[in-house]
Structure 1
Amino acid sequence: MATLSYNKLGLTGKILIGMGLGILFGLLLRNMLPDSPFVKDYITNGFLHVIGTIFISSLKMLVVPLVFISLVCGTCSLSEPSKLGRLGGKTLAFYLFTTLLALVVAVFAAVIVHPGDATLAAEKMNYVAKEAPGFAQVIIDMMPTNPVQAMSEGNMLQIIIFAVIFGFAIAHIGERGKRVAQLFDDLNEVVMRVVTLVMQLAPYGVFALMAKLALTLGLETFGSVVKYFFLVLALLLFHNFVTYSLLLKVFSGLNPFIFIRKMRDVQLFAFSTSSSNATLPITMETTEHRLGVRNNIASFTLPLGATINMDGTAIMQGVATVFIAQVFGIELSITDYAAVVVTATLASIGTAGVPGVGLIMLAMVLNQVGLPVEGIALIIGVDRLLDMTRTAVNVTGDCVASVIVAKSEGEFNEAVFNNTEAGKVAHSFNAQVHISENQSA
Structure 2
Amino acid sequence: MLAQIFIGFILAIILGAIFGPKIEVVQPLGDLFLRLIKFIVVPLVLASLITGITSLNNIKKLLSVGGKTITYFMGTTFMAVVIGLLVGFGISPGKGLDITLPTESAEKTEIPSVIDTILNIIPVNPFESLSTGNILQIIFIAIAIGLAITAVGEKAKPLANFFDALALVMYKITGVIMKLAPIGIFGILAPIVGNYGLDILLPLVKVILAVAIACAIQLLVTYSIAVRTLGKMSPLVFLKGIAPAGLFAFTTASSSATLPLSIKNTEENLGVSKEISSFVLPFGSTINMDGAAIYQGIAVIFIAQFFNIELTIMQLITVMFMTVLVSIGAAGVPGAGLIMLTMVLQSVNLPLEGIALVAAIDRILDMFRTSINVIGDASAAVVVQESENKKNLKKAA
Provide the TM-score with structure 1 as the length reference.
Answer: 0.85
Identity fraction in percent: 41
Of stretches 260-269 and 218-227 in structure 1, the one that deviates more from structure 2 is: 218-227
Note the C-alpha offset of 1:374: 1.1
- Aligned residues between the structures: 391
User: In the alignment, which residue of structure 2 is the partner of 1:416?
Assistant: none
Matches within 5 A, 1:162-177: 162-177=141-156
Judge conservation of contact 2:42–2:130 (CA < 8 Å) in 1. Answer: yes
| Structure with larger Rg | 1
Secondary structure, counterpart of 1:254 in structure 2: coil
User: Which residue of 69, 72, 80 corresponds with 1:102?
Assistant: 80
Q: Are 1:117 and 2:95 counterparts?
A: yes
Matches within 5 A, 1:141-180: 141-180=120-159
User: In the alignment, which residue of structure 2 is the partner of 1:272?
Assistant: 251
Q: Could you report, residue by residue, the CA deviation over 1:246-280 in whole angstroms, capped at 9, with x for unpaired residues? A: 11112122111101111111111101111000101
Matches within 5 A, 1:9-48: 11-30=1-20, 39=22, 44=24, 47-48=25-26
User: In the alignment, which residue of structure 2 is the partner of 1:254?
Assistant: 233
CA distance in 2, matches of 1:331, 1:110: 13
Secondary structure, counterpart of 2:170 in structure 1: helix
Q: Are 1:185 and 2:164 counterparts?
A: yes
Note the C-alpha offset of 1:176: 3.0
CA distance in 2, matches of 1:261, 1:275: 20
Q: Are 1:217 and 2:196 counterparts?
A: yes
Measured at CA, do residues 183 and 119 of structure 1 come closer, stay the same or move farther in structure 2, by a change above 3 Å? Answer: closer
Judge conservation of contact 2:27–2:187 (CA < 8 Å) in 1. Answer: yes
Judge conservation of contact 2:230–2:386 (CA < 8 Å) in 1. Answer: no
User: In the alignment, which residue of structure 1 is the partner of 2:119?
Assistant: 140
Note the C-alpha offset of 1:152: 1.0
User: Which residue of 388, 408, 420 corresponds with 2:387?
Assistant: 408
CA distance in 2, matches of 1:122, 1:62: 43
User: In the alignment, which residue of structure 2 is the partner of 1:61?
Assistant: 39
Q: Are 1:362 and 2:341 counterparts?
A: yes
Secondary structure, counterpart of 1:73 in structure 2: helix
Report the residue type matching 1:285 in the other structure.
K
Note the C-alpha offset of 1:331: 1.0
Judge conservation of contact 1:87–1:405 (CA < 8 Å) in 2. Answer: yes
Measured at CA, do residues 388 and 83 of structure 1 come closer, stay the same or move farther in structure 2, by a change above 3 Å? Answer: same
Report the residue type matching 1:82 in the other structure.
K
Provide the TM-score with structure 2 as the length reference.
Answer: 0.94
Q: Could you report, residue by residue, the CA deviation over 1:141-194 in whole angstroms, capped at 9, with x for unpaired residues? A: 111222111111111121112112212222333433222222222222111010
Structure 1 stretches of at least 4 aligned residues deviating more than 6 Å after TM superposition: none
Cα RMSD over matched residues? 1.8
Any unmatched runs of 5+ in structure 1? 1-10, 414-441
User: In the alignment, which residue of structure 1 is the partner of 2:395?
Assistant: none
Note the C-alpha offset of 1:119: 4.7
User: In the alignment, which residue of structure 2 is the partner of 1:432?
Assistant: none
Matches within 5 A, 1:1-12: 11-12=1-2
Measured at CA, do residues 204 and 116 of structure 1 come closer, stay the same or move farther in structure 2, by a change above 3 Å? Answer: same
CA distance in 1, matches of 2:40, 2:390: 25
User: In the alignment, which residue of structure 2 is the partner of 1:398?
Assistant: 377
Report the residue type matching 1:264 in the other structure.
A
CA distance in 1, matches of 2:199, 2:100: 18
User: In the alignment, which residue of structure 1 is the partner of 2:52?
Assistant: 74
Report the residue type matching 2:322 in the other structure.
T
CA distance in 2, matches of 1:118, 1:134: 36
Judge conservation of contact 1:293–1:412 (CA < 8 Å) in 2. Answer: no
Measured at CA, do residues 122 and 201 of structure 1 come closer, stay the same or move farther in structure 2, by a change above 3 Å? Answer: closer
CA distance in 2, matches of 1:411, 1:207: 42
Judge conservation of contact 2:83–2:218 (CA < 8 Å) in 1. Answer: no
Note the C-alpha offset of 1:78: 2.4
Any unmatched runs of 5+ in structure 2? 393-397
Q: Could you report, residue by residue, the CA deviation over 1:19-51 in whole angstroms, capped at 9, with x for unpaired residues? A: 122222222212xxxx7xxx3xxx51xx32322
User: In the alignment, which residue of structure 2 is the partner of 1:418?
Assistant: none
CA distance in 2, matches of 1:287, 1:256: 14
Of stretches 308-317 and 101-110 in structure 1, the one that deviates more from structure 2 is: 101-110
Measured at CA, do residues 376 and 120 of structure 1 come closer, stay the same or move farther in structure 2, by a change above 3 Å? Answer: farther
Judge conservation of contact 1:294–1:412 (CA < 8 Å) in 2. Answer: no
Q: Are 1:203 and 2:164 counterparts?
A: no
Q: Are 1:340 and 2:319 counterparts?
A: yes
Matches within 5 A, 1:301-316: 301-316=280-295
CA distance in 2, matches of 1:326, 1:215: 31
Note the C-alpha offset of 1:412: 11
Q: Could you report, residue by residue, the CA deviation over 1:38-70 in whole angstroms, capped at 9, with x for unpaired residues? A: x3xxx51xx323221111111111111111111
Judge conservation of contact 2:65–2:384 (CA < 8 Å) in 1. Answer: yes
Note the C-alpha offset of 1:333: 0.6
Judge conservation of contact 1:52–1:209 (CA < 8 Å) in 2. Answer: yes
Judge conservation of contact 1:100–1:345 (CA < 8 Å) in 2. Answer: yes
Judge conservation of contact 1:272–1:388 (CA < 8 Å) in 2. Answer: yes
CA distance in 1, matches of 2:11, 2:315: 46
CA distance in 2, matches of 1:225, 1:373: 18
Judge conservation of contact 1:129–1:360 (CA < 8 Å) in 2. Answer: no
Higher normalized helix content (fraction of residues) = 2
Of stretches 125-134 and 398-407 in structure 1, the one that deviates more from structure 2 is: 125-134
Judge conservation of contact 1:121–1:328 (CA < 8 Å) in 2. Answer: no
Report the residue type matching 2:260 in the other structure.
P
Judge conservation of contact 1:293–1:411 (CA < 8 Å) in 2. Answer: no
Note the C-alpha offset of 1:405: 0.8
Matches within 5 A, 1:349-388: 349-388=328-367
User: In the alignment, which residue of structure 2 is the partner of 1:285?
Assistant: 264
Note the C-alpha offset of 1:363: 1.2
CA distance in 2, matches of 1:169, 1:355: 30
Note the C-alpha offset of 1:366: 0.9
